[in-house]
Structure 1
Amino acid sequence: MIALDDYIKENYRTTGLKSTIKRYTNYQNGKAKTAKLKDILDYINYLRKQNVSPKTLRNNLFAIKIYYRYLQETEQRKDHPCQKLYLKDQINRAIAVEKLYTKNQLETLLTNYKTKNQSIQLRDEVIISLLIHQALLVKEITSLKVAEVNLEKGEIFIEKGGKTNARTLPLQANQILLFYNYLEARKTLLEHTKKQTEYFITSKYGTALNPHGISRLINDKKPKEEHIQPLKIRQSVIANLLKSNNDLRIVQVFIGHRRSSSTEEYKQTELEALQQAVNQYHPIK
């Protein structure tokens, strides 16, 4: 029979599942395998009393469901006590615009980015530039194919995604030389590793990258306070474009949002901008 740890590794990429399940089973004090819906609801209410966020509550329920799915698949239990349980706790999805990177911070990040492994410096510079100049999602970066990069026209084509529209985006002038040099290094790498791939961004072994790996790669050996968050970069680019009075519809097309309301969430009111300036230059001590 497959162990729970191996089951999780084989079927899920989500981090923290093992520890989340262990906290739940510890709470049930040896009765987790035979727990009923009421016991699970008691645990959810226990977490609520700890003032955990609605998002954390949902993550815990997700892990608990996986635990009982494992018990079913390994024939340790016939039923699933919480398969149809869904929480109504409202997650705050508001964009914290005041916590995003400024235009100058992004420019500094782009200029000063260095990796300790020089063999992948070019590749990582390309990734950072796509995050900052084109505000791509990590999945869009890893899905980008060589054939969709047109250096002669200075543009890239982004395929339609699960939540984004297809679009053609211009490259910055300094990106064209960067991409050319990277493609030359990529060609040498593939010849050396005897690999073949249509994807533009590759691992140091010549294989395609997993989108979940980009954050780990660009933060390799960096102290936690210096970690770069790819999604936060995208959000910052959107907010900065709107702050510079770019037309909402143009920004929407550039980003690939299907609804203008998704783009509008990044707009900052004059009052919010004033409050941010007060907090930045006249903080309360």
Structure 2
Amino acid sequence: MKEEALTSISDITHIEARLYLTRLHKKKYARRSVARKTSSLRSFFKFLIREEHLSVNPFTTVSLPKQEKRLPQFLYSEELEKLFAVSDLDTALGQRNQLLLEILYATGIRISECCQIQLQDIDFSLGTILVTGKGNKQRYVPFGSYAQEALEHYMENGRKELLAKGKQPNARTLFLNFRGDPLTPRGVRVVLNEMVKKTSSTLHISPHVLRHTFATHMLNEGADLRVVQELLGHSSLSSTQLYTHVTKDRLQQTYNQFHPRA
């Protein structure tokens, strides 16, 4: 407004709105950032109209930039094996870290969901965990034999040791930090970064990369898209369709199998 010599917000028209977006593009903002700013301003002017301060929304005719379609980052089996091999299973923190990795990869749950797991949410007989997701929606997710073995080891040894260091002797949270308090999402990120450093890898890994890896590996092995949607806790199938890409190995395997001159 200052650059265009506008003194009142009521002076803004669709022309100024487009000029604003042009400036954002010149400053090389990412499409996602431009879309977020545009959406925020559109909502703000909608609010002003509702409160009868304005009569026209200058951002109504401005279209959001088309989003870039990027393949989600995921790990190959070889990279996962390196991560699974770094934890010292003779220590309490090593047992916890191993379980953390196993659970995130075995279930594909979000980092926030992982940190909220309570002991009573785990059903060893069925091999499932009751997970509370976005909007307090609950779902059951299964975990495999590797995760169960790591879970039993941690529960019998490492967790008891960590719990003894805390001030809550009756705490029911599954994952604890070195002080015996509940592990936070930020703490999980630190743990994963340290594990990557031990593999001498240049990979950038986050809890969400393990979620991407879970979904990618499930679909590449032939899992039904609707089932993966349910396991991930997606309300929309379009969110799950992001993972319908295939790995280079699968592409090469399919090419060699079906191309006449492969």
TM-score range (shorter-chain normalised) is: 0.5 to 0.7
User: Does the aligned pair in 1 maintain the 2:92–2:154 contact within 8 Å?
Assistant: no
1:190 correspondence with 2:163: yes
Which residue does the alignment assign to 1:166? 139
Cα offsets for 1:29-72 (capped at 9, x unmatched): xxxxx99898999786544213221234467899xxxxxxxxxx
Contact 1:163–1:258 (8 Å) recurs in 2: no
Given that residues 137 and 231 in structure 1 are in contact (C-alpha distance below 8 angstroms), is that contact kept between their aligned partners in structure 2? yes
What CA distance in whole angstroms lies between the structure 2 residues aligned with 1:61 and 1:208?
A: 38
Q: Secondary structure at the match of 1:166?
A: strand
Whether 2:176 is the aligned partner of 1:202: answer yes
- In structure 2, what is the equivalent of residue 267 of structure 1? 244
| Bigger Rg, structure 1 or 2 | 2
Distance 2:160 2:210 in 1: 29
Deviation at 1:158, TM superposition (A): 1.3
How far off is 1:254 after superposition? 2.3
For the 8 Å contact 1:138–1:212, the answer to whether it is kept is no
Residues 192, 207 of structure 2: 8 Å contact kept: no
Q: Given that residues 128 and 140 in structure 2 are in contact (C-alpha distance below 8 angstroms), is that contact kept between their aligned partners in structure 1?
A: no
Partner residue of 1:140 out of 93, 103, 113? 113
Deviation of 1:205 (Å):
1.3
Deviations 1:220-269 (A, max 9, x none): 38378233221122112212211112222222222222233322221127
Aligned equivalent of 1:8: none
Aligned-residue CA RMSD in angstroms?
Answer: 4.4
Q: Secondary structure at the match of 1:216?
A: helix
Distance 1:118 1:91, change over 3 A: farther
Normalised TM-score (structure 2): 0.66
Match of 1:178 in 2: 150
- 2-structure distance, mates of 1:130, 1:269: 23
Q: Read off the aligned partner of 1:123 and give its amino acid letter.
A: R
Q: What is the CA–CA distance in structure 2 between the aligned matches of 1:224 and 1:199, rounded to whole Å? A: 31
Which of structure 1's runs of 4+ aligned residues deviate more than 6 A?
Answer: 34-44, 58-62, 84-87, 269-273, 275-278
Change (3 A) 1:45 1:95: closer
Residues 120/60 of structure 1: CA separation in 2 closer, same or farther (3 Å cut):
farther
CA distance in 2, matches of 1:253, 1:216: 28
Count of matched residue positions in the alignment of Structure 1 and Structure 2? 230
For the 8 Å contact 1:163–1:257, the answer to whether it is kept is no
CA contact (8 A) 1:248 1:264 kept: yes
Q: C-alpha separation between the residues in 2 aligned to 1:270 and 1:185?
A: 36
Q: 1:110 aligns with which of 70, 84, 96?
A: 84
Query: Displacement, 1:162?
Result: 3.2
